[in-house]
Amino acid sequence: MAWKHLRRFLQGLFVFACLSFPCQARYGGLRGAALRLHKVHDVGGAGVEEQWFTQRLDHFDGAETRVWKQRFFVNDTFYRSGGPVFLMIGGEGPANPAWMQYGTWLTYAKKLGALCFMLEHRFYGKSRPTEDLSFASLRYLSSRQALADLAHFHSSMAAARGLTGSKWVTFGGSYPGSLAAWFRLKYPHLVHASVATSAPVHAVVNFPEYLEVVRQSLAAENPECPLLVQEASDTLYRRLQDPETYVNITKDFSLCADLQIQTKMDIPYFLETVAGNFMDVVQYNEDNREFEGVPGTNVTIKVLCGVMMDASLGTPYSRYAAVTSLMLKTFSQKCLDVSYSTYLKDMSNTSWSGPAAGGGRQWVYQTCTEFGFYQSTDSPNQPFTGFPLQYFLQQCQDMYDASLNATAIADAVTQTNEFYGGYDVHATRIVFPNGSIDPWHALGITQDISDDLPAVFIKGTAHCANMYPARQQDLPQLALARDHVFVLLQKWLQQ
């Protein structure tokens, strides 16, 4: 599959963080940003057998009798009779079997004697409920259907494996982190406790706060860094208004084809693509290292700001272009594709073999029909220029259906918050770990709601950092956060 954005390379790289993804997630978890295609590598996981479970297509329509096969994985290595059951929730990409061999949750499982399941999210990976990804088919894709899948899986597995008296704990990161919390919230008789990492529990159409956190994270490295990024982005935006600059822009940013501006979507798409270099690196800062088969890079906030501060590279605009060159080189790519028409063609392909079937088409649909999460430049307190909310809203109509207009999206987001409660969580035994560098923490729980709804806010860490296995170079506060979650699980499992 041809990758159109450097940010997509990054999303393919950081599969361990939360996901399936989601830490798929800038997309995800989750970047809602319109919008990235995913490429997820099934790294590790050798010898982990995929298994299949029969699910209903529509849990809420008694007249709908169609069924389909959902993929799941099991690790019973640590299980001791009477121990808890851990359920890792898949998200907006293929469920990665490496999670069955690596990750903090398995450290907990070993100590607590837990049986571990991972269930792939409907419409992602090999869990394909319908024959295609058409707009009509995607009506069966929603977080509510996904929770019902989890409930049926729980009940069936409990009965089949003699686990009806066991205490179940759900885990997830980014969008799956939200699902972990919502499963406990909506099905408290099935779920005893949840670890909801980097979970954006509050849906919002316009999410410029994401870029505000990007600015703060860059400024924490060097106060001049986001100012230089802003100057460079402003300069690029101005030059894109003048066709006489296109030849130079094509060369400066190593574009795959001569720059042409044919629609109102082309300029914001270009600007968002280039800004995505900074957005993804901030979201996954310091987590982009080699780990159990995942190729690592040394691209961090420190590296990007180092380029932006390097006066020998010329103007801030030239340094901005140098960041793109760095990313291309890092991922062994020859050029940058900034064609919105190509992106739209890929995202509109409804085949399971299409270029966006790895998760891109599905997740953007969920942003259009449930969550929003659009990381626009509609704030003066962020460093980028030129991709306003309307640019993201238009994509919903371009890719799916004219009915998905601004009013419909706003109504859908309102309904999501009404159904789940947003920040107003009324439940018990859910812990919410978040990293201060991660832009998604702006939509998460970062302060204790109660003793039974604690937040673990980890200074200096990025998206889903606590889900990784421990390593020597981890910040002390990250190690303490993992330990704190374990202590909570121990306490809750005794209740």
- The residues annotated with a catalytic role in the active site are 174, 438, 463
CA 113 vs CA 184, 191, 216, 393: distances in Å: 21, 17, 41, 47
Q: At what angle do helices 301-308 and 224-239 cross, to 10 degrees?
A: 60
Strands (E), 349-488: 372-374, 430-435, 455-458
Cβ(71)–Cβ(51) below 8 Å: yes
Smallest CA-to-CA distance from 462 within 331, 280, 297 is with 280
What type of residue sits at position 261? I
Residue 401 sits at φ, ψ, to 5 deg, of: -165, 145
Smallest CA-to-CA distance from 21 within 39, 3, 34, 6 is with 39
3-class DSSP state of 195: strand
Q: At what angle do helices 175-186 and 406-420 cross, to 10 degrees?
A: 50
Distance CA(176)–CA(433), nearest Å, equals 13
Reading the block at residue 431, the tokens are 């812990």
